[in-house]
Amino acid sequence: DTAVSQTPKYLVTQMGNDKSIKCEQNLGHDTMYWYKQDSKKFLKIMFSYNNKELIINETVPNRFSPKSPDKAHLNLHINSLELGDSAVYFCASSQGTSGGYEQFFGPGTRLTVL
């Protein structure tokens, strides 16, 4: 009965490779997010989708491309991986976009680029 799940949990890859991270939520939420957390625990929003429509697209290299096939899924594809992409990536979801809704986070995907 996991609320927000991500796969894989760990991802180790070489520079220049392309990889994907998958996220699914079973909470019936309309809005999903991708965050990047660096080694100092700083959390930065990357993207947000509401009903499969992109609503937040922060200053992120265009090597990063989110895809939302339906409301319950938001995947993140990364092309031409670089050393600086090493981080923990969190998927999250919320019931809506207005201010009072809490976000539910997945367990994270630790990406290591060698």
Q: Name the residues that contact another protein, by CB under 8 A.
A: 4, 40-43, 45, 48, 55-56, 90, 92, 97-108
Specify the 3-state DSSP secondary structure of 12. Answer: strand
Residue with tokens 């019931």: 95
- Residue 90: strand pairing partners: 35
Q: How far is CA 65 from the centre of its chain?
A: 10
Nearer to another protein, 36 or 78 (CB): 36
Minimum gap (Å) between residue 16 Cβ and another protein: 29
Nearer to another protein, 14 or 98 (CB): 98
User: What is the nearest approach in angstroms of another protein to the Cβ of residue 87?
Assistant: 14
Nearest CB to another protein, comparing residues 45 and 60: 45
Q: State phi, psi for 36 to the nearest 5 degrees.
A: -115, 130
Closest distance to another protein from the beta carbon of 107 (Å): 5
The strand pairing partners of 28, in sequence order, are none
